[in-house]
Each structure stands twice: as structure tokens, then as C-alpha cells.
């Protein structure tokens, strides 16, 4: 027995060194594990098609510079086909099977609202790049401890309404003496607070609301709607359309509706919209957080150039925010020193980031729109762009304007 002791000791020593080596490699291996971000979006929708590609571009840029403390960003993409049920299944899979650390999800408010309770149940950071419903942030304010994992990375509907009214005063009321409007919105979760905002702010800038029309997103023939509006003879239509965009725009042009369209038209933010409408979008005015050729910040145009180089077209509005959100999540991981969800929430709440759309910071706990974006001077103010000769040109605010308003001959403007 004594003769075999050295061998047994040698084997034990070797085994100990192997075990120690295994332990020693666990730390660095885990430290180098990728930071996984799920992107749940609407790949076939005009307004949502930029979300995934823009997130991937941001990840590639971050990784090219060494990642986050040596950890790479990995984007895991899911197409929800504009379905809340599919989005929920994707979210569950992302967290339970694909082990993601954070989620960027959807431009559709109904989808985000269906995911919000799941972010709470699974304690996973989620941020939307394009949904607008005020209910998203209202839910966080109502039950902060459960819903604190959700962040609103785009403007709320009420904030959008205020920006549209500000732009309308400067672009329509003051120079063109417009006095009347009809609100025209798709019937969706995000337009309920938007329209309420319109009804409150339009009279304050001098536009009397003659009617408020909400139509089904399944509408294909807008002739009765346009006929009704023409009968009211408003100076302008104030729009709230996102899921629908091509049909009303094409029919507005083909039917020579003599009333300009001004407001929210999410599909018009995509550079493909000119081709999608065969040029019918000429003169359409729409709100956006960024746009081609508009240097909102020093990061805006380099992002657009990189996106065009990689994908061949300019992004829709949700592409700008999705790109920024990957950088914000990466920065939150770096500052938190962890991918623990509660630590990430605390880090995200302290975000102060110059992105492509402006200075990004979130409203704090206690605000009725907690985790919504701060807006106004010094933060995000928005733009109002117009399609002119196949290009998107910014008209507002004045200091970022790239031209003057133009309207087709069939549009009748008030005498100036």
C-alpha cells in the first residue's frame, strides 16, 4: 500500500490542478460571454423594418471597438409579424431559451402593451423603439415595482401631439393663416391619447377642430372619408397614421383631395415610401425624431451614412431609436458592471446619452410618464419633414430647416 501512495498522491494532485484550472477559466469565460439583446420587430412592415438592421449595425460598431469591457454584443432577431401573440412567444423564448439580457421590442403599441407584463414577470429589461401609447408609461407609474423593467424609447402619443401642434403653429397658422382642421386617425391604442392631445392643443394654436374621424386600420377605400372631409372644407387634415399609410396617401393624390395632410405618418418616415406610393407622397408633412440630411446631433448623419452603405436605403424613425437603444443598453451594462436586470434598470434610469435623435434621458419615478423620454429644449424636440421631389426635407424647427413648404396645384390654401 505504501508503494502506491506516491502515485495516488500524484493523481490527486493532478486532479486538483485540473479542477483549479477549470475554476480559473470559469471567471474569464463568463466575463467574455456575449451581451445578448433580443430584437422583436415587424420585419415586413414599412415603419418597423429598420428596427432589426439598425440594432445589428450598432452592435457591429460596438464590437469593432472591443465590445463592452471585452464582451461582444449579440443581436437575436425575432419577427413577430405584427402579432401580439407571436411577440409574446418570442419574448418568452428569448428569455427562457436564448438567455437574452435585454429586449428591444416593436413599433406597435398593442404589441408592447402585451409584452410589458411579461417584462415584469420575467424581470427582463425591455425598451420600445417606436410604440407611442401613453398607457405604456402609465402602467409603470401605476405599478412601478412590477413594470419598472419597461422603458419607453420613443415619444409618447401626448408628447407627439404637442410637437405636431407646435409645428403646425409655425408652419401653417402663422404663414398661411389656417384656421380649421379635421383630425384623421387610425383606430389604435396609440392614437387615443394622440387624438386627445390634438383636441386639446389645436384650438390653442388657432385651429378649430371641425371633426374627429377614426377609421379602422383595415380600411382600403378612403373615398367616403375624403368625401366627408371635403364637405367640411377644413384648411388642413391633422393625421395619426402608422399601420396604414400607403392607401390613404395614394388615394389622396389620385382623388386630388384639395386639403394638405400634416401630422403623424409613420410609414412616410421610411425612404422607400416614395416608391411604395409611386410618388403620391409628394408634399405630405410628417413628424419624426430624425431625418435624412438633418444633423440633429453629431451622430445623426454618420449613422444614416453607415445605414445606407450597409442596407441601401435610409431608416424609418424606429431605426434611429433602435440604433441608439443598443448603445444605451451597452452603456448601462458598462456602468452597472453587470447584466443583472435590477442593476440594469437602475443604470438605464440614470441614462444621459447623446444619440441620433437628441439628448436621451428618462423621466424619473413619480412622474406620470416614468421611463418616458424627456422632451423640450436640450433634450428631444422632434422635426417636421415634407416629401419634395422624391426626397425627405426637414421644414421645422426653423434652425434645422432645409427648404420651404411646397404643395401640389390641387391643394387649395387659404388666401394669404
Burial class (CB within 10 angstroms; exposed 0-12, middle 13-18, buried 19+) of 105: buried
Q: Are residues 226 and 353 in the same domain?
A: no
Q: Are residues 171 and 144 in the same domain?
A: no
Establish how many alpha carbons lie within 13 A of residue 251's alpha carbon, considering only the half-sphere containing its beta carbon: 14
Cα angle 60-66-70, degrees, rounded to a multiple of 5: 120
In angstroms, the Cα distances linking 226 to 172, 213, 342 are 21, 10, 50
Q: Are residues 85 and 197 in the same domain?
A: no
Quote the strand ranges of 216-253, DSSP E: 236-241
Q: Are residues 176 and 68 in the same domain?
A: no
Q: Is residue 222 part of a domain?
A: yes
Q: Is residue 414 part of a domain?
A: no
Q: Is residue 139 part of a domain?
A: yes
Domain count across the chain:
2
Q: Are 323 and 53 in contact (CB under 8 A)?
A: no
Q: Are residues 88 and 207 in the same domain?
A: no
Q: Are residues 247 and 388 in the same domain?
A: yes
Q: Is residue 109 part of a domain?
A: yes
Joined together, the cell numbers standing for residue 6 give 506516491
Q: Is residue 18 part of a domain?
A: no
Distance, in Å, from the CA atom of 66 to the CA atom of 299, rounded to the nearest integer, reads 19
Q: Are residues 267 and 392 in the same domain?
A: yes
Q: Are residues 83 and 168 in the same domain?
A: no
Q: Are residues 387 and 252 in the same domain?
A: yes
Mapped onto helix, strand or coil, the DSSP state of residue 331 is helix
Domain that holds residue 98: 32-155+297-360
Q: Which residues contact 274 (CB under 8 A, 6 or more apart)?
A: 281, 387, 390
Q: pLDDT value at position 20?
A: 35
Q: Are residues 147 and 170 in the same domain?
A: no
**Mean pLDDT, 10 residues at a time, over the chain (416 residues)?**
38 38 39 90 87 97 96 97 96 97 95 97 97 94 97 93 95 96 95 96 98 94 96 97 86 96 91 91 93 90 95 90 98 96 98 96 95 91 94 93 93 86
Q: Are residues 182 and 106 in the same domain?
A: no
Q: Is residue 284 part of a domain?
A: yes
Q: Are residues 255 and 314 in the same domain?
A: no
Q: pLDDT value at position 2?
A: 34
Distance, in Å, from the CA atom of 348 to the CA atom of 125, rounded to the nearest integer, reads 9
Q: Are 114 and 88 in contact (CB under 8 A)?
A: yes
Q: pLDDT value at position 317?
A: 87
Burial class (CB within 10 angstroms; exposed 0-12, middle 13-18, buried 19+) of 219: middle
Q: Is residue 1 part of a domain?
A: no
Domain holding 58: CATH number? Answer: 3.40.50.2300
Q: Is residue 255 part of a domain?
A: yes
Amino acid at each position: 500500500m505504501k508503494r502506491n501512495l506516491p502515485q495516488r498522491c500524484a493523481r490527486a494532485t493532478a486532479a486538483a490542478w485540473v479542477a483549479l484550472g477549470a475554476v480559473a477559466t470559469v471567471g474569464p469565460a463568463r466575463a467574455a460571454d456575449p451581451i445578448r439583446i433580443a430584437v422583436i420587430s415587424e420585419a415586413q412592415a414599412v415603419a418597423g423594418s429598420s428596427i432589426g438592421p439598425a440594432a445589428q449595425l450598432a452592435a457591429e460598431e460596438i464590437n469593432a471597438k472591443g465590445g463592452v469591457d471585452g464582451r461582444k454584443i449579440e443581436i437575436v432577431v425575432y419577427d413577430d409579424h405584427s402579432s401580439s401573440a407571436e411577440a409574446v412567444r418570442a419574448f418568452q423564448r428569448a428569455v427562457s431559451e436564448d438567455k437574452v439580457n435585454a429586449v428591444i421590442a416593436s413599433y406597435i403599441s398593442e404589441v408592447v402593451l402585451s409584452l410589458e407584463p411579461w417584462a415584469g414577470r420575467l424581470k427582463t429589461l425591455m425598451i420600445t423603439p417606436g410604440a407611442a401609447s401613453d398607457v405604456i408609461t402609465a402602467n409603470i407609474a401605476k405599478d412601478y415595482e412590477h413594470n419598472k423593467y419597461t422603458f419607453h424609447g420613443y415619444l409618447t402619443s401626448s408628447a407627439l401631439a404637442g410637437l405636431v401642434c407646435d409645428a403646425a403653429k409655425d408652419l401653417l397658422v402663422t404663414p398661411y393663416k389656417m384656421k380649421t382642421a379635421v383630425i384623421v386617425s387610425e383606430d389604435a391604442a396609440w392614437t387615443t391619447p394622440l387624438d386627445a392631445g390634438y383636441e386639446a392643443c389645436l384650438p390653442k394654436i388657432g385651429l378649430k377642430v371641425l371633426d374627429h374621424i377614426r377609421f379602422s386600420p383595415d380600411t382600403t377605400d378612403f373615398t367616403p372619408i375624403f368625401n366627408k372631409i371635403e364637405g367640411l372644407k377644413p384648411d388642413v387634415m391633422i393625421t395619426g397614421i402608422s399601420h396604414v399609410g400607403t392607401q390613404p396617401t395614394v388615394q389622396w393624390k389620385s382623388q386630388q383631395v384639395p386639403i394638405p395632410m400634416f401630422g403623424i405618418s409613420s410609414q412616410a418616415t421610411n425612404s422607400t415610401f416614395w416608391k411604395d406610393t409611386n410618388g403620391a407622397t409628394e408634399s405630405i408633412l410628417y413628424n419624426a425624431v430624425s431625418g435624412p440630411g438633418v444633423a440633429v446631433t453629431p451622430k445623426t448623419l454618420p449613422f444614416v451614412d453607415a445605414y445606407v452603405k450597409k442596407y441601401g436605403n435610409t431608416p424609418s424613425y424606429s431605426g434611429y431609436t433602435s440604433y441608439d437603444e443598443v448603445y444605451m443598453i451597452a452603456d448601462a451594462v458598462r456602468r452597472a458592471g453587470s447584466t443583472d436586470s435590477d442593476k440594469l434598470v437602475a443604470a438605464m434610469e440614470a441614462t444621459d446619452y447623446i444619440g441620433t435623435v437628441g439628448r436621451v434621458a428618462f423621466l424619473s419615478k413619480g412622474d406620470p410618464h416614468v421611463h418616458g423620454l424627456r422632451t423640450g429644449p436640450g433634450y428631444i424636440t422632434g422635426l417636421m419633414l415634407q416629401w419634395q421631389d422624391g426626397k425627405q426635407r426637414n421644414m421645422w424647427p426653423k434652425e434645422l430647416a432645409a427648404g420651404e413648404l411646397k404643395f401640389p396645384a390641387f391643394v387649395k390654401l387659404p388666401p394669404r
